[in-house]
Amino acid sequence: MGIRRCPTCGRSGMRREKVAVNATVRGRKAQVSNVELEVCPHCGEKLFDLNASRRMEECFLPKRRRRSAAVA
């Protein structure tokens, strides 16, 4: 079940795509491949679901921080 209208521009036609997400975290570059997200073809808005957010968090956050969060 995808999003029908873009929350930014209000137009319909959001589509599901798989993309590679690049980021720089604390000076280190990282990439996560095949992240599924909703993209607005009109304004380019990208919306990540919970699964995509978790995948990126696992790759981008330092291991030390993830371990301390798991203990809490």
pLDDT by residue (tens digit) across 14-66?
999 998 988 887 788 888 889 999 999 999 999 988 988 888 888 877 665 55
45 vs 31, 58, 59, 64, CA distance in Å?
19, 23, 22, 32
* Fold of domain 1-63: Ubiquitin-like (UB roll) (3.10.20)
Find, among 28, 1, 2, 31, the residue nearest to 14 by Cα.
Answer: 2
Structure confidence at residue 4 (pLDDT):
86
The domain spans of the chain are 1-63
DSSP state of 33: E
pLDDT at residue number 72: 52
Burial class (CB in 10 A: 0-12, 13-18, 19+), 72: exposed
Q: 1 falls in which pLDDT band (50, 70, 90)? A: low
Enter the pTM of the model: 0.66
pLDDT value of residue 8 = 95
Supply the pLDDT for residue 43. 96
The burial of 52, by beta-carbon neighbours within 10 Å (0-12 exposed, 13-18 middle, 19 or more buried), is given as buried
